[in-house]
């Protein structure tokens, strides 16, 4: 009979690592580049958790429960809602071209 113990796994929570503005920006950018539609919503949820869900909801002008619904997998939030949420999180979209420059 073996005396091995089963390893204990802890759950991963990305919000535990979102401890500065640069990391948050890189995390959201990577989520936007992910082809999974829910990746960005999950990333926004993680950042909102770091900033305080109730605080973010108030700044975005939505109720706390409404914010949870907006950021759950499969939701299809309006662009205006996403813009208000980004403003409440003190982040913005940064658009760049994917085309190579000719000349």
For residue range 53-72, what is the model confidence (pLDDT) as tens digits?
999 999 999 999 999 999 99
Quick one: tokens of 93? Answer: 């979209």
Q: List Cβ neighbours of 28 (8 Å cut-off, separation of 6 or more).
A: 40, 43, 44, 47, 91
Q: Are 59 and 88 in contact (CB under 8 A)?
A: yes
Q: For 70-91, write each residue's pLDDT tens digit.
A: 999 999 999 999 999 999 999 9
Q: For 3-37, write each residue's pLDDT tens digit.
A: 677 788 778 888 889 999 999 999 999 999 999 98
Predicted structure pTM score: 0.82
pLDDT score at 1 = 52
Q: Are 40 and 34 in contact (CB under 8 A)?
A: yes
């Amino acid at each position: 009979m073996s005396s091995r113990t089963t390893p204990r796994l802890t759950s991963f929570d990305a919000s535990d690592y979102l401890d500065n503005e640069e990391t948050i920006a890189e995390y959201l950018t990577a989520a936007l580049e992910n082809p999974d539609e829910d990746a960005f919503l999950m990333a926004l949820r993680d950042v909102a958790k770091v900033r305080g869900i109730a605080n973010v909801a108030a700044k975005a002008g939505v109720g706390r429960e409404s914010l949870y619904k907006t950021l759950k997998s499969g939701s299809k939030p309006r662009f205006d809602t996403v813009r208000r949420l980004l403003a409440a999180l003190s982040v913005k979209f940064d658009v760049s071209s994917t085309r190579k420059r000719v000349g």
